[in-house]
Amino acid sequence: MEKEVRKDEVTGMLRLKLRLMLKNKQTRLILLLTLCVSFVISGIGLLSYSRYREGLDTELNTPNIELLQINLDVTNRAFRESDNMALDAAYHPDVEAFARIQADGNSLSNSASIIKRLQKYLKALSSHEEIDSVEVISLENHALVSSNYGFLPDWKQAPDTTWVPWIQDIHRKPLLIKRRWYGTDPQYGTVELLSLARPIVEEGKVIGAVLINLDYDRFFSKLYIHLSNSQYVYDLEGELIYPKLRSSVPLNEMNRVLQELDVSPYAYVEIGDMEYMANQTFSDVTGWRLVSLVPMDKLLKNVKLARNMMLWLAFISILAGCSAVYYYNYAAFRPMKKINSLLNSGNRGTRQGGLYDLEPVISKLVGEFHRKSLVVERSLPELRSKYIEDVIQRRMGIQEMRMKWEQYFSDWEGNSLVVMVVSIDRYSTWAASFPEEDAMLLKYALNNILLETLEPCWKAVSAPDEESGFVVLLQFGERAYEAGTEAAVQEGVVLYKSVDRLIQVVGEHLPLTISIGVGHVVKDIQEARESYVKGKEALNLRLYEGYGRSHTNMDCDVYVEKDGSADVLLQEQTRDSTLLDNRRIDMIHTLGSQEPGASAKLIGQWVEELRLHRTAPAQVYLFVHELLEDLLEWCATQSVTPPDKLADYHWNQILTQDLQDIEALLVVILSDMEEKWNERRRSKDFVRVQEMMDYMEHHLHLNIGLQEIADQVHMSVSSVSSMFKEETGSTVYDYLTGLRMKKACALLCETHLKISEIADQVGYRNENSFIRVFRKHKQVTPGKFREISKCSNEYADRPKDRYAGVLEDKYED
């Protein structure tokens, strides 16, 4: 008992000391100064180290990246030269002829002249200083011709056969790059090469390969190596290509460095006891990875020492401050200790000291608990609203959903739930008529009216739904859910009456109207999302029914099932979708007509069709959205200024409108665009540009250019060029070339004319010039295009080309 009393006294005394110490201004000042000084010292040390590290990164990273890029350009340039040689050789007539030679003796003897010419051609290719040898390989009969040792009917007789195990990969890879050795040494060989292989293709089949062997030492002798760093080159399989000698860093450590780098341009890595800056870059030609390592320990040694000294100084300042506080309070409490010892002398253990401060501590704890309870109580509506929003948007899992439901909705039954979707009619127009702050206040007032009107009969929680309204979760009475159909229907009638009353009250007190969609009853909060979807579907009936109305999921179900079976419904939905697509195309085409009011007339016909067939509202809204996006694209393509109502268009602008307002919006937009387009068509520049296009289309067979076109329209060359660019978005040369290429493609696919004849008919007097331009536009030669077109025509129609800057076939029937 005496020990417990002593313990209480010590505890009470420590609490009293702490409270008095913190109330003392001098103690607080010492603590504040100590913390400030330590923070300032630590901040200066860490900031200095960070600034120095950033500067060091800039000074070291930039030149190393540049050096890697220079070496990358060197290797890429060398491989491009070799690859171009290999590609040219793969299409050489003698190379293709050799690859087709049969393995029998007669064929080989009859092809002696071809082999002789081919050997001379390969020796000419291998005269480059970096090329060790060039070989042409026939994959069908295993014969080869080499610039070093001539023709061999069987490649196994060649001095160098180290390429044989991987040459078959050329069937699935159009480019092979390998590092290899051959010679007398059993481990590494005496000759080290970098081999580049390209396939020889005939009628889509690989029949041979061209192998260019580069001298390894000469190839890498051109790399620029800095003495302070190390450089490494790895191929696609992660094998080390360069350097071939053992480096200062073990290969297993380098593998870890590559894993840490991943695809980052640089990173800091530790190898052994040293820190390095690792830089890397990748080659888009060879797929190689170039890596450099720069040691950092010597550079960071002094700055790390300065940083550590600053941190130790900050720690020492904290110790000094704490010591000062301790000494000051020791001196301050010395008289109290003396008095306490005098009072307790002679009766130690009998006095219940230390309990005198228990009451204020308990009062403080009770006050804090009360304040926290008030905070939780006031924040519960916000927590419930956020929870409903997360459930509707599927932002949480089932376990989290149930746990929070039990925490936030402990007074709810957990079943007979229904979701109601409230939306402000014509939201975009309504929001634009008020300042943003006033609109937010009106939405806040709308939310309060919702809850006050519903809560006398129902438990209700609201959450924001997009910009235009709210989603409300309602709790049906458990009696109505369990008593049977009659009670449930009665509860439903009360709810629908409450919803209608809500719409009336909002219209009386706020300058807005609302439409409401009510979902179906669900048994669990997990199914609230389904009720929300049904409520949104019911709300979409606003399209036909108008504003200020309530719609239930039963109305939506009757509307959906009005035509019978699911198959019939699917057929009608497909039909409606097809009709809408056709209408969208017609509306775009109407813009080009010169008939006044054609757009408004077509919109009116479309609206009458919708009212007659009652197309699904979701399909109608999607149609209008896609139509407006197509109109924006049409304006951009035809260089027409979009109407003001399309300038800030967004999806929610049409979702809160009925069919009548959508009709008026489309009439205004299409009429405005039709007027601007007709004005542009009547402009002198447009007529001139059309005249240029007609002239080019009818004179493709002539070698016309910008000067001839300018003479045709009696304008200067510069005026023609700038006018055509401004009206079409394309240059005269690009447009004319597109016309020629389109006609050339048609002639290649539909006729048997020679390439030279086709070139002449599309205005090219030089066949090689035609082939070069055609290959630039189509990425294949004319002959290859004709061959591909013949094959593809057996399965599908050819795709249509597009002119640059002209919307040609998007809305074609």
Q: What per-residue confidence (pLDDT) applies to 343? A: 47
Nearest to 646 by CA among 621, 661, 629: 629
Q: Tell me: the pLDDT tens digits for 291-327? A: 887 777 656 656 666 777 777 777 787 877 777 766 6
What band does 515 get if pLDDT is binned at 50, 70 and 90?
A: very high
Nearest to 641 by CA among 686, 610, 679: 679
Residue 659 tokens read as: 């069919």
Handedness of CA 302, 304, 307, 308 (dihedral sign): negative
Residue 276 reports pLDDT greater than 70: yes
Task: With residue 169 as reference, give the H or E element that holds it.
Answer: none
Q: What per-residue confidence (pLDDT) applies to 532? A: 92
pTM: 0.44
Residue 478 reports pLDDT greater than 70: no
Q: 225-295 and 377-560: same fold?
A: no
Residue 31 reports pLDDT greater than 50: yes
- Under a CB-based contact definition with an 8 Å cutoff, are residues 639 and 807 in contact? no
What are the φ/ψ torsions at residue 279 (nearest 5 degrees)? Answer: -115, 150
Residue 716 burial by Cβ neighbours in a 10 Å radius (0-12, 13-18, 19+):
exposed
Q: Tell me: the pLDDT tens digits for 744-803? A: 898 888 888 888 888 888 888 888 888 998 988 888 998 888 888 776 554 444 444 433
Q: What per-residue confidence (pLDDT) applies to 302? A: 62
Q: What per-residue confidence (pLDDT) applies to 97? A: 84
Residue 17 reports pLDDT greater than 50: yes
Helix/strand/coil for 78: helix
Residue 127 tokens read as: 């005269």
Residue 603 tokens read as: 């919109």
Q: How many CB atoms lie within 10 A of CB 453?
A: 19
Nearest to 72 by CA among 295, 266, 291, 244: 291
Q: Tell me: the pLDDT tens digits for 580-610? A: 666 667 676 666 565 667 777 888 888 888 8
- Preceding omega of 381 cis (within 30 degrees of 0): no
Domain boundaries, the chain: 91-220, 225-295, 377-560, 566-681, 687-707+723-792
Looking at 338-342, 515-519, 621-625, which range is the least confident one?
338-342
Residue 542 burial by Cβ neighbours in a 10 Å radius (0-12, 13-18, 19+):
buried
Helix/strand/coil for 181: strand
Residue 429 reports pLDDT greater than 80: yes
Residue 18 reports pLDDT greater than 80: no
> Percent of the chain scored above 90 by pLDDT?
4
- Under a CB-based contact definition with an 8 Å cutoff, are residues 228 and 64 in contact? no
Apex 25 CA angle, 19 and 27, nearest 5: 70
Which of the four CATH numbers 3.40.640.10, 1.10.1200.120, 1.10.10.60, 3.30.460.80 does domain 687-707+723-792 have?
1.10.10.60
Q: Tell me: the pLDDT tens digits for 700-748? A: 888 888 888 888 888 888 888 888 887 777 888 888 888 888 888 988 8
User: How far is Cα 575 from Cα 558, in angstroms, rounded to an integer?
Assistant: 20
Q: What per-residue confidence (pLDDT) applies to 251? A: 67
Looking at 277-281, 373-377, 634-638, which range is the least confident one?
373-377
In order, the DSSP letters of 366-418 are HHHHHHHHHHHHHHHHHHHHHHHHHHHTT-S-HHHHHHHHHHH-TTS-SSSEE
Q: What per-residue confidence (pLDDT) applies to 238? A: 74
User: How far is Cα 806 from Cα 729, in angstroms, rounded to an integer?
Assistant: 8
The most confident of 46-60, 286-300, 346-360, 563-577, by mean pLDDT: 286-300
Looking at 18-27, 118-127, 234-243, which range is the least confident one?
18-27
Task: With residue 761 as reference, give the H or E element that holds it.
Answer: helix 755-761
Say how many residues make up the chain.
Answer: 813
What band does 270 get if pLDDT is binned at 50, 70 and 90?
A: confident
Q: What per-residue confidence (pLDDT) applies to 796? A: 41
Nearest to 778 by CA among 748, 806, 812: 748
Q: What per-residue confidence (pLDDT) applies to 227? A: 53
Residue 119 reports pLDDT greater than 80: yes
**Mean pLDDT of the 34-46 span:** 79
User: How far is Cα 130 from Cα 115, in angstroms, rounded to an integer?
Assistant: 24
Q: What per-residue confidence (pLDDT) applies to 423? A: 92
User: How far is Cα 749 from Cα 797, in angstroms, rounded to an integer?
Assistant: 11
Q: What per-residue confidence (pLDDT) applies to 424? A: 93
**Mean pLDDT of the 468-487 span:** 63
User: How far is Cα 278 from Cα 309, in angstroms, rounded to an integer?
Assistant: 28
> Percent of the chain scored above 70 by pLDDT?
72
Q: Are strands 514-518 and 550-552 parallel, antiparallel or unpaired?
A: parallel
Which of the four CATH numbers 3.40.50.920, 3.30.450.20, 3.20.20.100, 3.40.50.300 does domain 225-295 have?
3.30.450.20
CATH 3.20.20.70 fits 377-560, yes or no: no
Apex 673 CA angle, 667 and 676, nearest 5: 135
Homologous superfamily (CATH) of 91-220 is: PAS domain (3.30.450.20)
Looking at 269-283, 515-529, 735-749, which range is the least confident one?
269-283
Residue 615 per-residue DSSP state: -
Q: What per-residue confidence (pLDDT) applies to 354? A: 40
Using left for φ > 0, alpha for ψ between -120 and 50, and beta otherwise, residue 219 falls in alpha
Task: With residue 803 as reference, give the H or E element that holds it.
Answer: none
Q: What per-residue confidence (pLDDT) applies to 479? A: 43
Q: What per-residue confidence (pLDDT) applies to 337? A: 58
Within 8 A by CB and 6+ apart from 768, the residues are: none
User: How far is Cα 632 from Cα 591, in angstroms, rounded to an integer?
Assistant: 13
Task: With residue 213 as reference, give the H or E element that holds it.
Answer: strand 205-215
Q: What per-residue confidence (pLDDT) applies to 161? A: 84
What band does 692 get if pLDDT is binned at 50, 70 and 90?
A: confident
What band does 684 get if pLDDT is binned at 50, 70 and 90?
A: low
Looking at 190-204, 240-254, 539-553, 688-702, which range is the least confident one?
240-254
Residue 482 reports pLDDT greater than 60: no
Residue 358 reports pLDDT greater than 50: no
Q: What per-residue confidence (pLDDT) applies to 705? A: 83
**Mean pLDDT of the 131-157 span:** 86
Helix/strand/coil for 717: helix
Residue 484 per-residue DSSP state: -
Residue 63 reports pLDDT greater than 80: no
Q: What per-residue confidence (pLDDT) applies to 353? A: 42
- Under a CB-based contact definition with an 8 Å cutoff, are residues 292 and 64 in contact? yes
pLDDT, mean over the chain: 76
User: How far is Cα 676 from Cα 603, in angstroms, rounded to an integer?
Assistant: 18
Residue 356 reports pLDDT greater than 60: no
Residue 228 reports pLDDT greater than 90: no
